Every structure is written in structure tokens, then in C-alpha cells.
Amino acid sequence: MQFHNYVGSEGDDSSPSDYDWNTDDELEVFGIPPSDPTISSQESCEDSVGESSASCSSAKHSKLIHLFVGMGFSRETVIKAIDENGRDNEEDIMEALLTLTAEKPLTVEKDEALSVLVNMGYPFEEALTAIDKCGPKAHISELADFISASQLEKGLHSPQESPNNKHDASDYTHEKPCQPSGEYYLHTSKKVKLGLGIFNEASQVISRKFPREVANKPYFYFENVALAPKGVWKTISRFLYEIEPEYVDSKYFCAATRKRGYIHNLPTHNRSPLLPIPPLTIQEAFPTTKKWWPSWDRRTKLNCLLTRVAPGPVTERIRKLLEKFGDEPPLHVQENVLVEIRKWNLVWVGKNKLAPLEPDEYEMLLGFPRDHTRGGGVTRTERYKSLGNAFQVNTVAYHLSVLKGRFPNGINVLSLFSGIGGAEVALHRLGMMLKNVVSVEIAEVNRNIIRSWWEQTNQRGNLIEVEDVQKVSSNELSQWITKFGGFDLIIGGSPCNNISGSNRVSRHGLEGEQSSLFYEYFRIVEAVMEIQRDELL
């Protein structure tokens, strides 16, 4: 299977909402914002002089249709979903579209399927084999997934094959691939360039050019949610030296989706994944669930892991509902249950019995060691909150793997917004010695977790804890740089509170109270570069 992430095209104002993610991530896909998240549809109507409420309503209806058709759903299906759910709840519309798509997948005859696959850039023989294996009525994306999976297996032995394949499947949605592995192919869009690929990438890798002042160390690495309000990533990119973001969905590194944007000046060649490769599907991660998994729950990936879990009454209500029916509940019951299942990332643990993930299961999916957040006075609720805001370790380690050969004697790290130490864990799992780490984290519970991990793993370096990123002064930075001989890596992701699609109240982007802390990240990166540049002169 080929894997792709995307870098925004130069000179445009595209945002990750332009890209064909094609997953039902409750926080980030359901939360795709309107053009201006600070202006509601109601306000827009009221501000339109001479425009009737009917015409404004019609405009909103057309905008919704355009939005979801642009995501790959058919116009007929979109109109049906809007009629059934109303125009004011995009989350319900999205759920309906996902359900309808799952029930009525796009099918094409063999000759037409061959034509489509070849036009997408797949070799004729491989397209024909996929159709023979998956059947002539298979969804186009299932066929693409099958071919990509076959190419991945070949790539494991000769990763440089097919260096220039480019595919465009932006007109198609997809559900479950016919390949048993359950992995997904992330379709490309005409609006973006291929490149900065994930492991075993067979597509063309784009060379990146940096301004001279950031072309070498200190390396920096910034992360935040991919589907941010319009213009957010363009602003972040402008401050971080006009470097285009790299958008990655962590579903390629674990059994849960986690769509994030990364801006960094790291090399992109010769990346390598952490081994062993973790389970990539739900049932690989939780094999005991297979016995109870109903055929009508077609999930192979979990949605983005949240900072909260379903309350008991949700799973109890579902159990009582399903007990009224046999093994095959009516379609409308399946639909309603699947809405709750996807929303809360529930898994099957018995007959008609669903349960939320446990904190240790969060840890496994996110690449942290077992019990990383357990004990030391940390409550169950705090564990979910800390884990839900953390890095996905395998994804970050894949990007940071290029540093291993550059710092054989250890690395000095300035870790901003450290959380529970996802960056530190990633570097440790890569086998890199943490010589000196300045960890800046506001939450005491998270600082305790990092300190405990540092002790439990017998780190030989120095851990310096700082509470408030806003109080990190140039004088302190200069002292640390003199003491350590400079920072090699500045890493972190500022709060996404005012950026995330789940925030309907204060989604003010980088002007929000929490997310404006991005500017502290930039301030510190700029200061470190200036100090270290001056010291080298």
C-alpha cells in the first residue's frame, strides 16, 4: 500500500479542509468550519441588506451541498441527508452520509473500473488483478486499496519502485478495503502536491528548500490539529519561515485516526518507523473483540481519541435497545447505534455489550508504555485528558528518526507544551540519549507523569522542568544554551482549544486565549536561533 501526506500548494490559501481525508473523525471531520468561523450563518443572513430569509436559507442549503459534494459524496446522497437531518446540524448530516455511503457503495462495471483505475495512474495488470480479486462491483477505493497494499508488500523488498506514480481519487469516498489488513489508502487531491511520504512511500518525494537561517540545527518541529479554521495554517506557516505544513493521519501508525499538521525543518529522506509495527486495525489491537463484533459495524479504525469517554448510561441504553432484536437489528437501529459508537469510540466486549476504551488502551494506541499515566495520584479522568491531548508517539518518532544518525552521542531538547512527554518518549524509543531536556508544561499532573517516566526509564541526562512558557525569557534561554552547548531540537504543539472542530463556542483560531500561545512557540524558536547564531560567530 502506498501512503501519502500532503503539503499545501505554493501560493494558494488551501487548508487541510481542502484535502480528501475520507474518515469519520468526530472531532475534526465533523468540525470542518465555514469560511469564517467567527460569523454564524444567522449573522450572515442578518447582515445581507435586502436579502430575504428564504434566499439566505437557500444559499446556506447550496453551501452545505457544495461542502459535502466537495468531500466526495454524491449530490443525490447529500440532498437526502440534509432533508432527513435539517440544515443546522452538520455532524448529523455527516453521520448520515457516512451511513448511506456504507450501505450503498459506489459500484462500476469491470470495463469502467479498469478505465478509472488506469486513469488514476495504476498499471493495467494490477488494476485487472484487483478487480478479479475483489469483484467487478467493488468500490473504486477498495480496488485502489488492494493495489496499494500489494505495492506495499513489493516495496518492503524494493522500496524505490514506481517513484513517480501519482493517483487522483478525490472524486471517490471509501469504506472497508477488500484487503484483509484493513489499512486505508489516503487519496490525493488535485489541489495538493504529493510528497514527504510515510514509510515505504513509492511516490515522488518533493525536495524542500528552507531559508538559510533555518536550513540546519537547531531543528524545530511544531504540531497542531490539521482541520483548523481557514487561514490558521497559512498564518502558522508565515511565522515559521514560510515552511509548508505536512499533514499526516496517524491511522497509518496505529488503529486510530489522528489528523495533524506538522511544520518542521527536519530532513525528510531516510525516515524509518518504530519497530515492531503496532496493530493497525481495531481487531488487531483488541483481538478479543472479534468474537462479539457484528457484521454491520464495519469499522476497522477508531476515530480520534478524545479527552473524554462515554458515560455509563450511553452503553446501557445501547445494550437494552439491541436486546430487543436478534443478531441483525433493523437498519434504522443500526444507524442510530453506529452514530453513538463512532462518536465515543466504543468497542464490543460481549453480546450487545459495548464499552469505552480504558486508559491503558489509549496508551497502547498512542505509542506510550503501559501505565505511563497510571499512579502517582493521577485520576482516571486526568489520564483521559492528558492522553487525549498527547502526541501519537509512532507518528512523531517516524519524523524524528532522521535525527538518530546526526546525534549519536545524545541530543539536547527544548520541549515546549510537553504534555505527557510524547516527544521525549519518541526519542527514547528511537534509541537516542536525552542529554539535556528543558520541559515546559503548565499542568502539574503532566509534569509529574514526565518526571516519573524519566525516573522509571533510568534516563542519564538532565531534566529541567519549567511551568509557564510565557515566562521563558531570552536570558534563561541564553544560560541554557551556554550550559548545554546549544539546543539541537525545539519541539512542541501549542494548545488546540480555539482551533479544534469540537469547539463551537470559542473557535477563534490563533486569536483565542489558549491557541494564541503559538506565538510563544515562535518567539522562543526565533530567540534560540538568534542566540545560537550569535554564539557561533
Q: What is the CATH number of the domain that holds 485?
A: 3.40.50.150
81 pLDDT tier (thresholds 50, 70, 90): confident
Could you give the CA distance from residue 424 to residue 462 in angstroms, rounded to a whole number?
12
Is residue 134 annotated as a catalytic residue, yes or no? no
The tens digit of pLDDT for each residue in 196-212 reads 444 434 334 445 677 77
Residue 507 falls inside a structural domain: yes
Under 8 Å between Cβ of 415 and 424: yes
516 pLDDT tier (thresholds 50, 70, 90): confident
> Which percentage of the chain shows pLDDT scores above 90?
46
Three-state SS annotation for 481-524: HHHHCCCCEEEECCCCCCCCCCCCCCCCHHHCCCHHHHHHHHHH
Residue 412 falls inside a structural domain: yes
The range of the structural domain enclosing residue 49 comes to: 37-103
Specify the pLDDT at position 434.
98
Specify the pLDDT at position 142.
65
Let me know whether 99 and 206 are in one domain: no
Let me know whether 79 and 214 are in one domain: no
| Grid coordinates given for 107 | 459500484
Specify the pLDDT at position 89.
72
Let me know whether 265 and 412 are in one domain: yes
Let me know whether 262 and 397 are in one domain: yes
Residue finishing a domain among 86, 103, 120: 103
pLDDT at 461 over 80: yes
Let me know whether 98 and 205 are in one domain: no
In DSSP terms, 8 is beta-bridged to: 192
Residue 361 falls inside a structural domain: no
The tens digit of pLDDT for each residue in 354-379 reads 999 999 999 999 999 999 999 999 99
- Say which of 134, 254, 304, 496 is annotated catalytic: 496
Q: Minimum mean pLDDT among 1-5, 95-99, 501-505: which range? A: 1-5
Let me know whether 61 and 208 are in one domain: no
Could you give the CA distance from residue 423 to residue 220 in angstroms, rounded to a whole number?
12
> How far does CA 209 lie from the centroid of its chain?
25
In which element (H, E) is residue 347 found?
Answer: strand 347-350
How many C-beta atoms lie closer than 10 Å to residue 207's C-beta?
8
Mean pLDDT of 244-253: 91
Under 8 Å between Cβ of 403 and 266: yes
133 pLDDT tier (thresholds 50, 70, 90): confident
509 pLDDT tier (thresholds 50, 70, 90): low
Give residue for cell 519541539.
491
458 pLDDT tier (thresholds 50, 70, 90): very high
Under 8 Å CB-to-CB from 360, ≥6 apart: which residues? 370, 371, 374
Under 8 Å between Cβ of 362 and 390: no
Greater confidence, 40 or 434?
Answer: 434
Mean pLDDT of 38-63: 46
Specify the pLDDT at position 316.
94
Specify the pLDDT at position 164.
36
Residue 168's nearest CA partner among 121, 111, 112, 125 is: 121
The tens digit of pLDDT for each residue in 280-298 reads 999 999 999 999 999 999 9
Greater confidence, 181 or 60?
Answer: 60
- Three-state SS at 24: coil
Kindly report the pTM of this predicted structure: 0.66
- Three-state SS at 434: strand
Residue 394 falls inside a structural domain: yes
Residue 145 falls inside a structural domain: no
φ and ψ at residue 475, rounded to 5 degrees = -65, -45
φ and ψ at residue 24, rounded to 5 degrees = -100, 50
Residue 263's nearest CA partner among 288, 279, 241 is: 241
Let me know whether 80 and 214 are in one domain: no
Specify the pLDDT at position 134.
76
Residue 493 falls inside a structural domain: yes
Residue finishing a domain among 53, 78, 103: 103
Query: Measured between alpha carbons, how far is residue 47 from residues 161, 400, 505 in Å?
Result: 56, 49, 21
Based on its alpha-carbon atoms, the radius of gyration of the chain, rounded to whole angstroms, reads 24
Specify the pLDDT at position 92.
73
The tens digit of pLDDT for each residue in 462-492 reads 999 999 999 999 999 999 999 999 999 999 9
Specify the pLDDT at position 136.
65
Residue 135 falls inside a structural domain: no
Could you give the CA distance from residue 343 to residue 346 in angstroms, rounded to a whole number?
8
Could you give the CA distance from residue 235 to residue 266 in angstroms, rounded to a whole number?
20
Q: How many domains does the chain have?
A: 2
37-64 burial string, b = 16+ CB within 10 Å, else e?
Answer: beeebeebbeeeeeeeeeebeeebeeeb
Residue finishing a domain among 84, 103, 122: 103
Residue 15 falls inside a structural domain: no
